[in-house]
Amino acid sequence: DIQLAQRVQRIKPSPTLAVTALAAQLKAEGRDIISLSAGEPDFDTPAHIQEAAVEAMHAGQTRYTAVDGTAALKAAVINKFRRDNSLAYTADQILVSNGAKQSFYNLCEALLNTGDEVIIPAPYWVSYPDIALLADATPVSVFAGQSQSFKITPDQLEKAITPRTRLVVLNSPSNPTGATYEASELAALGEVLKHHPQIIIASDDIYEPIIFGETRFANLLNVCPELATRTVVMNGVSKAYAMTGWRIGYAAGPKPLLDAMKKIQSQSTSNPNSIAQAAAAAALDGDQTCVETMRKAFEERHDVVNRKLNAIPGIQCLPSAGTFYAFPDVTGAIAQLDGVTDDIGFAQYLLDHAGVAVVPGSAFGAPGHIRLSFATSLANLEEAIRRVADVLKSA
């Protein structure tokens, strides 16, 4: 028997990737499965971005780059922050990585010691607690349910802070709920954080452009610029430009912390893929209409999914302000099914009886819910929801 490290025994594989893989396997076996589990846009990477990658390859950009990213991509990132977020950074405050997932991993590895606490508002992206655990820290989740629109209050934040709190994670728009903090709500959270100078803030803005209706994106630093000395902003091209497979994300923040994160990356993965960096620079610098085209499609699907889910007895879904996820409360539906007692059983039931793959809410720290991704065609979505409604009706 091979004795594995405690570190790896503390964590679990990503449950969203697991459901996606299971759905793909069942499909390959010939089952009629509609997967609403994926955390990625269903669109192809826009042609001008693909073209930039081809050109980069032909121009010989096939070697190691600087660990923290090419000068061209860092310039594009700095320009993006200035253009979209009114935030000013210099090149030595930027670290480009293999996706925003690695940005968060680098941050945790660079910052956290055993026993340090990381405050993670729930429902949360599945990877935050596990990446904190990998860094020997203790995740502390603060739950915000439907009744508070999935947003934590300043009071909840204050109560969760202890002398051991080292990091607070903000993710708006949120995976899995789509909840998006208004500028005034961020200001109120920032007011609490101002009184705790030992705390670093991670602002994960990866869903920034996928936002609906009247909602406007805001970053904590827009309303609390004085927190810039201890805030790391993370973003990337995966969701905005349908570039999940290219693996490019980036972080910006105080130089000493970014230097430490760069050191971690230099001794683990080195630079992210050189060709993907050229593509990401083209994405950030180029025509942004592709972003708006995808955003509109997601909004249209959101409206249909939200309306149809709420028409099913036992399912309650808040309209979300962004992202491509719906996160309904399904406790009523669970109660209608014999032998099903929780969201994990419910997701299994939908897979077995309706051929619809969703992710159980427990994976996101919110039992009694499921996450449906609407990164698939309207026709697929309508068919999937019709099937769910049918199996519940006939149960």
Residue numbers at the binding site for ligand PLP (CB under 6 A): 39, 99-101, 125, 171, 175, 204, 206, 236, 238, 244, 249
Angle at 275 between CA 270 and CA 278, to 5 degrees: 105
**Shortest distance (Å) from residue 228 CB to ligand PLP:** 21
**Shortest distance (Å) from residue 149 CB to ligand PLP:** 18
- CA torsion angle for 73, 285, 247, 243 (degrees, to 10)? -170
**Shortest distance (Å) from residue 100 CB to ligand PLP:** 3
**Shortest distance (Å) from residue 195 CB to ligand PLP:** 27
Spatial distance between the Cα atoms of 159 and 161, rounded to a whole number of angstroms: 6
* Closest to ligand PLP by CB, 100 or 108: 100
| Token representation of residue 198 | 């030992």
| CA 326 remoteness from chain centre | 13
* Closest to ligand PLP by CB, 100 or 112: 100
**Shortest distance (Å) from residue 101 CB to ligand PLP:** 3
Are the C-beta atoms of residues 279 and 45 closer than 8 Å to each other? Answer: yes
SS3 of residue 131 by DSSP? helix
| Token representation of residue 349 | 């039931």
Residue 337 CA: distances (Å) to CA of 37, 205, 326, 346, 363: 22, 38, 22, 8, 21
Spatial distance between the Cα atoms of 373 and 361, rounded to a whole number of angstroms: 13
Spatial distance between the Cα atoms of 245 and 49, rounded to a whole number of angstroms: 13
Q: 159 Cβ partners below 8 Å, 6+ apart?
A: none
* Closest to ligand PLP by CB, 242 or 389: 242
**Shortest distance (Å) from residue 236 CB to ligand PLP:** 4
* Closest to ligand PLP by CB, 103 or 165: 103
* Closest to ligand PLP by CB, 40 or 182: 40
**Shortest distance (Å) from residue 172 CB to ligand PLP:** 10
At residue 3, what are phi and psi to the nearest 5 degrees?
-85, 110
| DSSP state for residue 98 in the 8-state scheme | S
**Shortest distance (Å) from residue 371 CB to ligand PLP:** 11
* Closest to ligand PLP by CB, 219 or 238: 238
The neighbour count for residue 194, using CB atoms within 10 Å, is 12
Spatial distance between the Cα atoms of 80 and 82, rounded to a whole number of angstroms: 5
Are the C-beta atoms of residues 223 and 183 closer than 8 Å to each other? Answer: yes
* Closest to ligand PLP by CB, 209 or 355: 209
* Closest to ligand PLP by CB, 80 or 101: 101
Closest CA relative to residue 37, chosen from 55, 52, 18, 50: 18
Site of tokens 């969703």:
358
* Closest to ligand PLP by CB, 165 or 238: 238
Are the C-beta atoms of residues 341 and 191 closer than 8 Å to each other? Answer: no
**Shortest distance (Å) from residue 326 CB to ligand PLP:** 15
Q: Which residue(s) pair with 138 in the sheet? A: 117
* Closest to ligand PLP by CB, 240 or 315: 240
**Shortest distance (Å) from residue 98 CB to ligand PLP:** 7
Residue nearest to ligand PLP (CB): 99
